A and B are shown apart, each in its own frame.
Chain A
């Protein structure tokens, strides 16, 4: 088990998400950076859907209750286990009583702590993810607090230290600048409700990510993007990644804890292969939208799968070579 010693902001238990209840209005939840979660689980030989702790703010501190392997992926953090520094996207081994401290985040927005065997909270409606809106899943359906004890299915098998190349590097996008995230989007249902000049403004703007951005959605700030005439729609199904334009013309990107329906006009949707980039975009930083097509969105997804496939093969190879010696 793991004991939370110190936590800032809404850290929560997340797996890849809850996908079978969407038609009943139950949102997906799940890791904001699903690639980081998968990479951590691959490093540990876990099922890729095993639950981990999503840590959005520092400082964060926890104590391992017994020997276990763990991996830290996602944001670039300054972290220490029992006084030893841990590089980014790294797996290591903790002894019972060891304290893990995350002191600073230098890049990205969310760090993932995965453990060998996964965080063993009960599966609710098919997932271990915390549903913050519905207050179920995860640990008692709420963000973690100091003193919380997280049950772990951890095997105590010792593993060697090993790192993986962060997805940010392997899946780097051209023209990416420091402190600006470029995400690919496909146009959505009400795109044509905006005139050409407004559409151009949407594409060219460097949108600021406001402090009112979280697991539910990202509220952006920039020039007002308003439809030719007010659009009044009944609430209809939406998915994480949908970019809505409320009456003030300031876009909202729906994220993992979003409602499953909404009525604001939708100008575009972030492709699934880039949703993790939004999840790692920092408050106060800039975001730009790049128009893409459905086939290119599928190609981006294939590229993401290829990265994960290569990661699985590489990890297996290194483990085999090590046992050979």
Chain B
């Protein structure tokens, strides 16, 4: 779905109000970066995304839906949420994105077996960043 100009305006207002200075949104075919400048200038750039998910690949990808730092395990737990070869249900938490004091879940879009954890703990991820690749079980269709 394309990002509407009204969405950009609304996002910009939220950023300005909340003191966050940058947001990056990536979706198939588009990238949006908003930077709130101290001089109140707004830089926005839209460019076609260079890398799309290979069409022939049947795997589904759990993506971050918010910008922040990726955590493969909860800081209180040694074990990561998922590891390759592990079976997960649709909606299962496969990782966290840390934003300030909050942890937003990254969830499996479909039931299946974990192929790979793509993102590395501690790295900055954005909206749409692939986190975990899942081989869906034959009977299940991806939700996204």
Chain A residues within CB distance 8 Å of chain B: 76, 84-85, 87-90, 106-107, 161-166, 168-170, 307, 310-311, 313-315, 317-318, 320-321, 324-325
Contact = CB atoms under 8 A, between A and B. Distances in A.
Q: Which of B66, B77, B91, B102 has the most CB of A within 10 A?
A: B102
Q: Identify the 9 closest CB pairs spanning chains A and B, nearest first.
A: A163-B103, A314-B100, A317-B18, A165-B101, A76-B76, A87-B74, A161-B105, A314-B102, A314-B101
B118 interface: no
B35 interface: no
Contact of B103 (A164, A168, A307, A313): A164
B49 interface: no
A85 B77 CA distance: 13
B36 interface: no
Q: Which of A89, A106, A307 has the most CB of B within 10 A?
A: A89
Interface stretch (B6-14, B53-61, B109-117, B130-138): B6-14
Interface string B74-90: 11110000000000010
B93 A161 contact: yes
Interface in B9-29: 10-11, 14, 18, 20
Given A315-B102, A318-B104, 17 more contacts: A76-B77, A84-B91, A84-B92, A87-B96, A88-B76, A90-B103, A107-B76, A161-B107, A163-B105, A165-B101, A165-B102, A170-B101, A310-B101, A313-B18, A314-B102, A320-B14, A321-B14
B103 A317 contact: no
Contacts of A321: 11, 14, 66
A163 B96 contact: yes
A311 B77 CA distance: 21
Contacts of B11: 321, 324
B74 A317 contact: no
Nearest to A318: B102
B99 interface: yes
B20 A317 contact: yes
B64 to A, nearest CB: 13
Interface of B: 7, 10-11, 14, 18, 20, 66, 74-77, 89, 91-93, 96, 98-105, 107
A50 B32 CA distance: 41
A88 B93 CA distance: 13
Contacts of B91: 84
21 contacts: A84-B91, A87-B74, A87-B93, A87-B96, A88-B76, A161-B93, A163-B102, A165-B101, A166-B75, A170-B101, A307-B101, A310-B100, A310-B101, A313-B18, A314-B101, A315-B102, A320-B18, A321-B14, A324-B7, A324-B10, A325-B7
Contacts of B74: 87-88, 163
Nearest to B107: A161
Given A87-B93, A318-B66, A324-B11, A169 B75 contact: yes
A152 B92 CA distance: 28
B65 to A, nearest CB: 8
A314 B104 CA distance: 11
A58 B11 CA distance: 44
Contacts of A87: 74, 77, 93, 96, 103, 105
Nearest to A43: B102
A130 B37 CA distance: 52
Nearest to A88: B76
Contacts of A107: 76
B141 to A, nearest CB: 21
B104 to A, nearest CB: 6
Contacts of A318: 66, 99, 102, 104
A314 B103 contact: no
Nearest to A310: B101
A324 B103 contact: no
B94 to A, nearest CB: 12
A94 B22 CA distance: 34
Contacts of A164: 101-103
A163 to B, nearest CB: 3
Contacts of A161: 93, 105, 107
Nearest to B102: A314
Q: Which of B14, B77, B93, B101 has the most CB of A within 10 A?
A: B101
A24 B101 CA distance: 40
